[in-house]
Structure 1
């Protein structure tokens, strides 16, 4: 009884302030203490273990879960409010995605699913589709709905509850067998095809080099003819994108292990460019790049009109300004924290307009940095 009272007390901190989807009992709520906005879901069909697992991992690939309480044969979940667009909305607004964009989303989905699949017993999502994928304003991908997820039971011959969305659901989700890791891989293959063509594989198979074979293998009717796990799928996607060399059909287990480790770590979009995705070759490149910037800054010298060395104060202020301008350039080029979309015309479809906007902002910011360093120099010299 005391636990029920405690649960009621915890939930009482969240007051409903708006409706997300009344039919599915999803509402906006506000914490009465911190005044922050969250999302409240009341689920009648669920697997609490999945939500508890996601809550414990704190993975950035899923909304952060704050409360997970069972009440009257329902599960009440309080989770992070995410500001962004679903992949479905992005495709509808922009049309088909490029190979690079599609591959990037697919790789991130593989990492997100590897977190579920690596649990013992494995959790199967069973409803991967564009409307369940959110791309935040900081370009972070999150799977926003895990209501359909279930545990994989090796001795079970079929799913006890049928779940899935038409055209994305694998044949085994309709009574032809039990869902397993390859069920999610089927849906991923359909999603890749939709991103590239705007249509389902059964209507129009993508003609993109490399991805066509990936989609065909993912969506094979027979699960044993699909990829065995998301690690294999991710490996082939990286080969197609030129991120990894083809090493034959033999898949190296060590590579999958490294990706599972990555999926369990919570990447931070506020890390410096090069370290946000925690991919080793990007981090090494970033270390070399930032090291070069520091070396270039430290070796820069200033001279007076007569050729003599400038005073140390002036030289150091100039070095700081130079380094800040270099860093600002890196931030703009890599779209750190999604800053380019926040610039004037940053969301325009006209690339020239976006480039001019970024250039003007860069110029103004560079002048501001120089003026600031000059002001600091005069204050210190006074």
Structure 2
């Protein structure tokens, strides 16, 4: 595109670098974007990248060329980069690390299918939005791979994360991104580069070790291969978590010597972590949201208690489902419980009309589902329950 930069109002610089990314706002739509300056030589690659729409890649709104300068406007992601996230946590849980790896490999599969190599995968280039969505960002070093060169024309990448071939030993390809992601996973688990401390995590050590082989031919040969290995380990981890633990016999002497407070403290901490990670209203740790959420949950409990107070077991069961569909389902979607929004089409677009269409689709689906639920269940209630409900309705009118 060849549009004027005047469509945007500068808000603030996002880094202290000269010509670094700047937060801007579209004057017409009021949407926020990140403006970045790139070399004109990257125009073809960035235009090809702008055609990609993927939940784990930032959406490129437009590319502006003016006075031999290239400016890219992309989706602004509210959240923290992976380096900041690690600094806030003593150690990332294995499942979280695997989920991050899964999301990044999904993004890489799409890039590599277009022969686009990222070449700068590192902690600060992986964002975690406030909704828990992983995004691979920053395409300063992106290049086409055609397999015809012995080495890269320009050596780019970040020391510590970049593959050896990025420093002139060979042409970079998709296996270079795999190397960098392997280093990222090791840092997530140990807070150290592999050369300083290699992870011993049972679910990830083999993946990391294979990813960071010096010889590219010994690594995963594609992002899809690495993705499959990650998916396998994630499945094993979830199966292990759901497996019932065997009861252990313990002698009276040992039982008396067990320190109960630390165990209770650990259980309480784990429960608190689950609340702050998954429960809407508590994820951002803001007091006003906690208070609002607590009041909302009390209203939900009260609603369930009223709906389930009369009728037969079947009546109460049907009322519970109806209440869930009509009231709880919209709550789950609006609060993005378990990142459910990432499965909803259009709403992640930076175009207002697309977002409106997405939410309109959600509203229509909810309305139809609610109507079908009510219509089907109406014929299943007991006569006594229907009579009581009609009596209550008559009393309320009088």
Give 1:25 shift: 2.8
TM-aligned CA deviation for residue 67 of structure 1: 1.3
Structure 1 residues 379 and 152 mapped into 2: Cα distance closer, same or farther (>3 Å)?
farther
1:158 match: 151
The match for 2:119 is 126
**Distance in 2 of aligned mates of 1:196 and 1:94:** 11
Once the two structures are superposed, what CA deviation does each residue of 1:252-298 show, in whole Å capped at 9, x if it has no partner?
xxxxxxxxxxxxxxxxxxxxxxxxxxxxxxxxxxxxxxxxxxxxx9x
Shift of 1:379: 8.6
For residues 74 and 216 of structure 1, the distance between their equivalents in structure 2, rounded to whole angstroms, comes to 42
- Assess if the C-alpha contact under 8 Å between 2:2 and 2:63 holds in 1: no
**Aligned partners of 1:199 and 1:59: how far apart in 2?**
30
Query: Could you say which residue in structure 2 is the equivalent of 1:349?
Result: none
Aligned pairs for 1:192-231 within 5 A: 192-231=185-224
Please report how far the alpha carbon of residue 197 of structure 1 lies from its aligned counterpart in structure 2 after TM superposition.
Answer: 0.7
Q: Are the aligned partners of 2:80 and 2:129 in contact in 1 as well (CA < 8 Å)?
A: yes
- Are residues 1:13 and 2:7 paired? yes
CA contact (8 A) 1:302 1:315 kept: no
Structure 2 CA distance for aligned equivalents of residues 45 and 205 of structure 1 = 40
1:114 aligns with 2:109: yes
**Contact in 2 for aligned 1:17/1:29 (Cα 8 Å):** yes
How far the C-alpha of 1:27 sits from its partner, in A, is 1.1
Structure with greater Cα Rg? 2
Alpha-carbon distance in structure 2 between the residues aligned to 1:330 and 1:15: 35
Tell me: CA distance 1:207–1:117, structure 2 relative to 1, closer, same or farther (3 Å). same
2:322 is matched with 320
Match of 1:99 in 2: 94
Any idea what the Cα deviations from partners look like across 1:299-321, whole Å, max 9, x if unmatched? x99866xx9x99xxx99866633
Q: CA deviation at 1:151?
A: 0.4
Asked if 1 retains the 8 angstrom alpha-carbon contact of 2:33 and 2:75, the reply is yes
Spell out, residue by residue over 1:22-50, the C-alpha distance to the aligned partner (whole angstroms, 9 max, x if none): 42432121211122221111123752233
Larger relative helix fraction: 2
TM-score (norm 1): 0.65
Moved over 3 A (4+): 300-304, 314-319, 322-338, 377-381
Question: Deviation digits for residues 323-372 of structure 1, max 9, x if unmatched?
Answer: 5576489779953569xxxxxxxxxxxxxxxxxxxxxxxxxxxxxxxxxx
2: CA distance between counterparts of 1:34 and 1:325?
31
RMSD: 3.4
On the 8 A contact 2:60/2:73 being kept in 1, the answer is: yes
Unmatched segments (≥5 aa) in structure 2: 239-303, 342-388
Q: What secondary structure, in the 3-state scheme, does the structure 1 residue paired with 2:51 have?
A: helix
* Number of aligned residues: 278
Moved more, 155-164 or 65-74: 65-74
Measure, in 1, the Cα distance between the counterparts of 2:209 and 2:156. Answer: 23
Distance apart, 1:322 and its partner CA: 5.3
User: 1:30 — aligned with what?
Assistant: 25
Q: Residues 44 and 315 from structure 1, CA distance in 2 versus in 1: closer, same or farther, beyond 3 angstroms?
A: closer
- For the residues of structure 2 that align with 1:301 and 1:101, how far apart are their CA atoms? 37
Q: Give the direction of change, closer, same or farther, for the CA distance of 1:318–1:51 in structure 2 (3 Å limit).
A: same
> Which residue number corresponds to residue 59 of structure 2?
64
Does structure 1 conserve the Cα–Cα contact (< 8 Å) formed by 2:61 and 2:73? yes
Out of 323, 329, 335, which is 2:338 matched to? 335
**CA drift at 1:227:** 0.7
- Equivalent position of 2:160 in the other structure: 167
Q: Distance in 1 between matches of 2:98 and 2:329?
A: 28
1:12 alignment partner, SS class: helix
